[in-house]
Amino acid sequence: MLRDITLGQFYPIDSILHRLDPRVKIICTFIYMISVFLVRDVWGYLAATLFLAIMIIISKVPFKYMIRGLKGILMIMILTAVINVFTTPGKVLLSIGVIDITLEGIKVAVRMVLRLIFLVMGSSIMMLTTTPSRLTYGLERIFKPLERFNLPVHEIAMMISIALGFIPILVDELDKIIKAQSVRGVDFNNRKLSVRIKNMIPVLVPLFVSAFRRAGDLAVAMEARCYHGGGKRTGINPLRYDRRDHIAYLVIFIYLSMIIVIGIIF
Amino acid sequence: MSIIADHIVYKYNVKTHFENIALDEVSFKVEDGEYLAVIGQTGSGKSTLIQLLNGLLKPDSGTVYYNGEDIFDKDYDFSGLRGKMGLMFQYPEYQLFEEDVFSDVCFGPQNLGLERAEVELRAYEALKMVDLKDEAFYRSPFELSGGEKKRVALAGILAMKPQVLMLDEPTAGLDPAGKKWLFKLLKKLRKERDMTIIFISHNMDEVAENAERIIVMDKGNLVMDGKTREVFSYYDELTGMGLDIPTSSKILHILKENGISTNADPVTLREAADEIERLYKARLH
Ligand SMILES: Nc1ncnc2c1ncn2[C@@H]1O[C@H](COP(=O)(O)OP(=O)(O)OP(=O)(O)O)[C@@H](O)[C@H]1O
Ligand SMILES: [Mg+2]
């Protein structure tokens, strides 16, 4: 029940997307996100949808995992749609009291929702095909040049990867804590808000205590192995661009050019 | 009055890539007042099993009857079940959260909707029962040692006065004196409150000394169910599953292998000592 958290939920299967260098996936996802803001007309949206569909198919990740991420932003999508439908001025289609529904409003709403879907699905593909540790390593390598400006890139990357690694552990502990407190008579099925808030205390306190304890243990373990950030650390599996990575860059370049050309023509 | 597990099947991560059958058609019956141990290799499904018995996990098929009622039935009074079936997990850290030990032990009975005086009386009794010193009552549960935390966690469950007490590896992390103390307490609870006790353990000696009946789990299947003495007579089968027999049985087993015939099948240390004494005396003559 608690495992529905997509963040950092890598889907272990072998596909071309899984094998790509994480840097490629990060940069391509970023380019895709930019492209989503460049499209204006039907053809552009079609191209973006098609590209996303192809990526979903070649990732081999079941579709239901892909749309899991959308559940989390369902409220935001509905809110965006509603606000846009009611507040965009233009040709009035329907008037309910003081609010007008306009054709332009509907168009804008559809566009906004589509964009949100593209953004979330795009990043979901990246997350589902890359382990959190490869992802942070990729980020670290991309931002490496910033170390010249005294930015602690390695330390930040290490912190992110530890945080990501802790998520499944904490989810697991949360599950155990909820069970232990259910045994002591806490009714987690009660839907009343006041009860639900009261029920948080016996869950959150042990969770925080355990998170702090684990963090402390990890710090000691790292120090005992003489961990020292920065310097001339080398990776155990250094990232190297392969032929398929160059092809991936080429593909995303062609896609971006297409989006731009469509934008100019229509 | 009994607990019946009726063909329970439980799978983790159903319908995903990681689907894993933890229990496969497990059935058995536990009568009131029984003293039962569940043994089995790591990952054999013991913890999963006892979580199903008190309704923390819902089976994928099959069901559990408590006193004749299906606990997974829609109309079943689940909150009532909480007061009747206690379960102590291996790690006490997951349930301690109050500012002081006494309030923490009060938490369970309070959730049962009892009056304040009754709640405090039960908490006091439970803390006395687990032999915690009075001066520890108002300390923070987080400042206690691992063994003391375990006692407080147990008190938290006992204060709810359950009819069935289930314990998941209760002796893990206790010192030898603590282990002895725990089993003495369980024995007393059984005698005075007529409790049913079910515990999981990896230590065959403590199982032999205390349990009257044993359930053996192997890879999600219930493979043996019988009186302690009977189960421990299957030496080859148990070792084949990566399990062991009690030290006392092992000594007699070694004697047998070396040609010294014994006619008893001892499981407790006392019995083994008596048997060895008898053999020794027989040799002298
Ligand atoms: N939360 C979980 N998610 C997925 N699989 C689980 C989970 N908990 C247990 N399992 C799996 O279910 C099976 C049975 O686990 P269980 O914890 O019941 O074993 P156990 O007999 O209690 O082992 P141990 O002696 O190590 O405590 C194992 O294969 C385990 O990997
Ligand atoms: Mg277990």
Which of A3, A173, A185 shows the shortest C-beta gap to B82? A185
Shortest distance, CA A2 to any CA of chain B (angstroms): 11
Q: Are residues B264 and B221 in the same domain?
A: no
Q: Are residues B284 and B186 in the same domain?
A: no
Q: Are residues B205 and B272 in the same domain?
A: no
Q: Are residues B220 and B275 in the same domain?
A: no
Residues of chain B with pLDDT under 50: none
- The answer to whether residue B183 is domain-embedded is yes
- The answer to whether residue B238 is domain-embedded is no
pLDDT in tens, B121-163: 999 999 999 988 888 899 999 999 888 999 999 999 999 999 9
Verify whether the Cβ–Cβ distance A185 to B79 is below 8 Å.
yes
Q: Are residues B134 and B64 in the same domain?
A: yes
Shortest distance, CA B168 to any CA of chain A (angstroms): 12
Please state the rounded mean pLDDT for residues A7-25: 86
In this prediction, residue B30 carries a pLDDT of: 95
Token look-up 């069901």 returns: B63
Residue A91 pLDDT > 80: no
Candidates B10, B14, B48, B50: which one to mutate for ligand 1, based on the most atoms within 8 Å of Cβ? B48
Counting beta carbons within 10 angstroms of the beta carbon of residue A37, is it exposed (0 to 12), middle (13 to 18) or buried (19 or more)?
exposed
End position of a domain, from candidates B207, B233, B259: B233
Q: What is the CATH number of the domain that holds B11?
A: 3.40.50.300
Q: In a mutagenesis test of the A interface, which of B47, B79, B95 is the best target, namely the one with the most A β-carbons within 10 Å?
A: B95
Residue A2 pLDDT > 50: no
Atom of ligand 1 nearest to the CA of A172: 1
End position of a domain, from candidates B233, B255, B270: B233
- The answer to whether residue B240 is domain-embedded is no
Number of structural domains (chain B) is: 2
Q: Are residues B98 and B192 in the same domain?
A: yes
Q: What range does the domain containing B67 cover?
A: 2-233
In this prediction, residue B231 carries a pLDDT of: 92
pLDDT category at A1 given cuts 50, 70, 90 is very low
- Give the Å distances, CA to CA, from B196 to A28, A36, A75, B123, B129: 61, 64, 49, 21, 17
Q: Are residues B64 and B16 in the same domain?
A: yes
Sheet bearing B85-88, strands edge to edge: B85-88, B164-168, B196-200, B35-40, B213-218, B221-227
Residue A243 pLDDT > 70: yes
Q: Are residues B276 and B170 in the same domain?
A: no
Q: Are residues B266 and B228 in the same domain?
A: no
Angle among Cα A1, A191, B166 to the nearest 5 degrees reads 55
Higher pLDDT, A4 or A144: A144
Q: Are residues B222 and B252 in the same domain?
A: no
- Give the Å distances, CA to CA, from B254 to A185, B218, B222, B244: 49, 26, 28, 14
Number of structural domains (chain A) is: 1
Verify whether the Cβ–Cβ distance A184 to B156 is below 8 Å.
yes
Pick the residue from chain B with its C-alpha nearest to A183: B82
- The answer to whether residue B148 is domain-embedded is yes
Token look-up 């925080």 returns: A208
The fraction of chain B above a pLDDT of 90, given in percent, is 67
**Ligand number nearest to the C-alpha of B46:** 1
Axis crossing angle, helix B247-257 with helix B269-284, rounded to the nearest 10: 30
Verify whether the Cβ–Cβ distance B87 to A185 is below 8 Å.
no
Shortest distance, CA B276 to any CA of chain A (angstroms): 45
- The answer to whether residue B239 is domain-embedded is no
What SS3 string covers chain A?
A: CCCCCCCCCCCCCCCHHHHCCHHHHHHHHHHHHHHHHHCCCHHHHHHHHHHHHHHHHHHCCCHHHHHHHHHHCHHHHHHHHHHHHHHCCCCEEEEECCEEEEHHHHHHHHHHHHHHHHHHHHHHHHHHHCCHHHHHHHHHHHHHHHHHHCCCHHHHHHHHHHHHHHHHHHHHHHHHHHHHHHHCCCCCCCCCHHHHHHHHHHHHHHHHHHHHHHHHHHHHHHHHCCCCCCCCCCCCCCCCCCHHHHHHHHHHHHHHHHHHHHHHHC
Verify whether the Cβ–Cβ distance A180 to B95 is below 8 Å.
yes
Q: Are residues B89 and B121 in the same domain?
A: yes
**Ligand number nearest to the C-alpha of B48:** 1
In this prediction, residue B116 carries a pLDDT of: 94
Q: Are residues B50 and B115 in the same domain?
A: yes
The answer to whether the CB of B43 is under 6 A from ligand 1 is: yes
The count of CB pairs under 8 A between chains A and B is: 65
Q: What range does the domain containing A32 cover?
A: 2-265
Residue A39 pLDDT > 60: yes
